[in-house]
Amino acid sequence: MAYSISTLLTRNLHDVFGENDPAHRRAAIDEIFTEDCVFYEPGGVHRGRDEIDRVAGAIKATHPDFRYQPIAEPEDLDNGGRIQSVSGRPGEAPAYAGTDFIIARDGRIAAIISFSISYPELDSAVRRLCVDRQQLEEPGIISTFALAYIYATGVYRTGCQGWPADRIRHGAACVGRCP
């Protein structure tokens, strides 16, 4: 069966990397990935369904109670797309933010590229930015990951004043001087 880019992105997030049950995870991998699929992530390159299953299981085992939550609708362009998400324990502030990019072939994922960052790393970067932005002469751009942090934690409303929602657009936040 062929799936839409949006469906592939969402199912990969929830049914593969968010799934605790190994049998359910493997069934989803067999349904939505090509046999010769490749998974690129900062820890390495993993080829084939067996490797994706192994890596997804290992990642989920480190945080079995974490849930993925998209922070925006999946975006697609021809045979590719991306989804931005946060993850953490239900009812708590997110612990990670990430973006997954896919390339599909015949309605299945042929390649996935995944980036994620922990919120402690973001917290430090955003706090530095809130201090540094007072010295900016020209507006700058915050990364998508920082935007996810800002959006998820509300730091733009509390820890760093002057981040009006109308200045947060299309996966980036435009910044200037603190008011």
Domain boundaries, the chain: 5-118, 119-174
Contact 5, 78 (CB under 8 A): no
> What is the three-class DSSP state of 20?
coil
pLDDT band at 7 (very low <50, low <70, confident <90, very high): very high
> Which pLDDT tens digit goes with each residue over 104-124?
999 999 999 988 776 555 555
Topology adopted by domain 5-118: Nuclear Transport Factor 2; Chain: A, (3.10.450)
What spatial distance separates the first Cα and last Cα of the chain, rounded to whole Å? 54
Bridge-based pairing of strands 168-169 and 44-47 is: unpaired
